[in-house]
Structures are given as structure tokens and as C-alpha cells.
Amino acid sequence: MVQVGEITVEGDNSLDKQIVLNEERGKILREIERLEKKARTEVQPKKKIEIVQKINLLKKELEK
């Protein structure tokens, strides 16, 4: 693991690849936050369940 500025390069990734991975991770995190907010305000149980399932899928993607 090497740190360049604010970016930590993990494993065998190049700096460019790590930047792209960090951007993708940020997008997924923002989407999770948006969906969590939507789930809190949703009234219909079926739609709420669908939103929570999407959140869980995105969280699994982050673990990879």
C-alpha cells in the first residue's frame, strides 16, 4: 500500500486505476445514501422493500 497525496494505492493497482476505483466507490456510496433517504420517506411497504434490496446489492458491490 502506497499513499500518494490523499489517494492510497492498494495492491497492484496503478495510480490511474486507483483513482477510477475511488470515484466508482464514491458514486456507489452516494447512491446508497440517496436510496436510504428515499427508503425512510417511502410509505408503501412493497416499494420500501425494493429500495432496501437495492441498497443491499450496492453494499455487496462495495465489499468486492
At 21, the pLDDT band (50, 70, 90 cuts) reads: confident
Q: What pLDDT score does 9 carry?
A: 65
What is the spatial distance between Cα 9 and Cα 18, in angstroms, rounded to a whole number?
Answer: 6
Beta-bridge mates of residue 3: 8
55, three cell numbers: 441498497
**Rounded to two decimals, what is the model's pTM?**
0.76
Distance of CA 29 to the CA centre of its chain: 3
Domain ranges, ordered by start, for the chain: 2-63
pLDDT exceeds cutoff 90 at 18 = no
pLDDT exceeds cutoff 60 at 64 = yes
Mean predicted lDDT score pLDDT of the chain: 86
Q: What pLDDT score does 57 carry?
A: 97
Higher-confidence position of 9 and 34:
34
